[in-house]
Amino acid sequence: MRIVMVPPVREARSRGVFDHPKVVDHFTEGGVVWTNNSQEVVEAIIWCTGFEPVLKHLEELGGVTPNGRVDVLGTHAKSEGRLWLVGYGEWTGFASATLIGVMRSARDTAREINEFLPI
């Protein structure tokens, strides 16, 4: 997993206490399968794409276009109702590759997910 190696992250990794999240292998109808083959039911997925979007595992959802993008309405994937892509592409907001630039998009996405999930 590639992340920005700011000093606190570098220090945590050097001490062996950096615990990165599981990596998605592929999606199922009701959740995800992780690269260790364990499965988990999920209600919503927020894919924070970072500097280099990795979208290959999303192809089976049918939403990756021939030019390698995911069709979205705002940050919500059109092909998968449980998927939002925050910081994805220049169309999600000016300077979306920065924390300040993605803030509005992330806030709007959180509000959309809150409305999407059952109470």
pLDDT in tens, the chain (119 residues): 455 667 877 888 788 876 666 777 877 878 888 888 999 898 877 766 555 667 777 777 667 888 888 888 878 888 778 888 877 655 555 566 666 777 787 888 888 888 888 76
Q: Which residues are CB-neighbours of 87 under 8 A, at least 6 positions away?
A: 48, 49, 50, 96, 97, 102, 105, 106
**89 phi-psi bin (left φ>0, alpha ψ -120 to 50, beta other):** left
Q: Quote the pTM value.
A: 0.57
The two tokens of residue 60 are 């089976």
Token pair 């959740």 in the structure block, residue: 31
Q: Which residues are CB-neighbours of 103 under 8 A, at least 6 positions away?
A: none
Q: Please, are residues 105 and 95 in contact by the beta-carbon 8 Å criterion? A: no
Domain ranges across the chain: 1-41, 43-119
Q: Which residues are CB-neighbours of 84 under 8 A, at least 6 positions away?
A: 44, 45, 46, 47, 75, 76, 77, 109, 112, 113
